[in-house]
Amino acid sequence: MQLSKIKIKNYRLLIDAELEVDPRTTLIVGRNNTAKTSCFSCVGNVLDGEAVSFDDYPLLKREDFYTKIALFMEKKLSYEELCKQIEIISIEFLVDYSLDDPDDNLGALSPFIIDVDVDTTTALIRAEYRLKIDEKTLWALLESSYYKDGAFSPSEESHKVLADNFGKLFGLTVYAINPNNPNDKQVKSQKKLHDLFPFHAIPAERVLGEDDTHNSSLGLLISGFFDTSEAELDPDVAEEIKKLRTIVEKANKDVQKQSDEILSSVVDSSIGFGYPNIEELKLGVTTQLSIDDQIKNQTKLSYIYGTANESLPSSHNGLGYKNLIKMQFLLAAFAKDIEKRGVACIPLLFIEEPESHMHPQMQTAFATYLEKFLSKLSTV
């Protein structure tokens, strides 16, 4: 089964957009401010169950939104009509399972197949951000900004109140829709959608923080090795991490024992210079040392050159290299997460590469490299 099409309506710059999804890799190319980032942001919000903000609502639709709300508050539009007429944010996923064997386990897609026709081989899923606030609560929220002394008199604050409370007004609803009958639909949980489309995004980064001025991204990745159980790591990596953990644990114990003894001796010797009196109290010292925290927080990327192993900090080399190195770490983590799921699903991986749009000749090369790298991961 594969995701074949995505449709997005009324999200930022995407008023009515449709994306054909290639079976292997889909490239979205365009100049700045053409909604490339908006595309994977919308997908990510829905799959992660995040609320939308007023900043996500299209500028072109806001005047109509204000007008409809004002008509409702003026009692010229019923709440039911308001819900029908307000432009909503929505996204549709079309999944094709025509190449799957009829006896195959469709896994996480099964809850979204509601058509009993055996000849139907597509599943249609729609997620919508609709008005979720009830009529009474909506009125109470807006009344003071639309009425003065009992008379309808919208204030300048009305738009701000709507913007500030936008996330409270709209809620996410997920539907499984019959592709042959759009009126036939069933509400599904957001978790089922999340399980069907494991989502991972790697945004473009201009600063990766290996220059002492920002948090080290490499350090954060290395933290994962300490915090992840050995069973979840690649066998080759797990053996090396096990060795490192053993060394760190022994060093922690040895250093802490010696520091406790030395510092306790220093404190004990200082008695006599004042309080406490030796008859009253004996002092000791217990230190809390964590060498693994030092490894996590003080590990930096460097470049090694020549047989003498001379090194330079990563800030002395191109930012593009660091982008690619971090990308490889994150891709490996994504592949491991998908492997653990053990159920048929459709992983969605969005990678935002900031430079390739300026060099069209690099787009194919970049996509080919990613495909080879991910293929290698999937066979490990």
What pLDDT, in 10s, does the model give residues 234-250?
676 777 777 877 887 78
pLDDT-wise least confident of 67-81, 108-122, 206-220, 232-246: 206-220
- Compare 295 and 138 and report the one with higher pLDDT: 138
Give residue 328's pLDDT band: very low, low, confident or very high (50, 70, 90). confident
**pLDDT value of residue 229:** 67
Residue 272 half-sphere exposure toward CB, CA atoms < 13 A: 5
- Compare 361 and 83 and report the one with higher pLDDT: 83
- Listed in sequence order, the residues at least 6 apart from 16 whose beta carbon sits closer than 8 Å to its beta carbon are 7, 9
Whether residue 46 is predicted with pLDDT greater than 90 in this model: the reply is: yes
Query: Does residue 108 sit in helix, strand or coil?
Result: helix
Nearest-angstrom CA–CA distance, 377 and 380: 5
Mean pLDDT for all residues in the chain: 80
- Listed in sequence order, the residues at least 6 apart from 36 whose beta carbon sits closer than 8 Å to its beta carbon are 28, 29, 30, 352
- Listed in sequence order, the residues at least 6 apart from 85 whose beta carbon sits closer than 8 Å to its beta carbon are 68, 77
**pLDDT value of residue 367:** 77
Whether residue 358 is predicted with pLDDT greater than 70 in this model: the reply is: no
Whether residue 160 is predicted with pLDDT greater than 90 in this model: the reply is: yes
Question: Residue for token digits 């058509």?
Answer: 115
**pLDDT value of residue 96:** 94
Nearest-angstrom CA–CA distance, 353 and 318: 15
Please name which of 141, 100, 140 lies closest in space to residue 118, comparing C-alpha atoms.
100
pLDDT-wise least confident of 10-14, 157-161, 212-216, 311-315: 212-216
Average pLDDT over residues 100-106: 73
- Compare 306 and 175 and report the one with higher pLDDT: 175
**pLDDT value of residue 313:** 58
Average pLDDT over residues 345-357: 75
**pLDDT value of residue 70:** 96
**pLDDT value of residue 196:** 94
**pLDDT value of residue 213:** 47
- Listed in sequence order, the residues at least 6 apart from 326 whose beta carbon sits closer than 8 Å to its beta carbon are 205, 208, 217, 218, 221
Give residue 210's pLDDT band: very low, low, confident or very high (50, 70, 90). very low
Whether residue 76 is predicted with pLDDT greater than 90 in this model: the reply is: yes
The share of the chain scoring above pLDDT 90, in percent, equals: 41
Nearest-angstrom CA–CA distance, 71 and 82: 9
Backbone angles phi, psi at 234, to 5 degrees: -60, 140
- Listed in sequence order, the residues at least 6 apart from 271 whose beta carbon sits closer than 8 Å to its beta carbon are 277, 278, 283
Question: Residue for token digits 């599904």?
Answer: 188
Give residue 215's pLDDT band: very low, low, confident or very high (50, 70, 90). very low
CB distance 129 to 9 below 8 Å: no
Helices (H), the chain: 36-47, 59-73, 79-85, 135-146, 157-164, 166-169, 190-196, 217-227, 235-270, 291-298, 319-341, 360-379
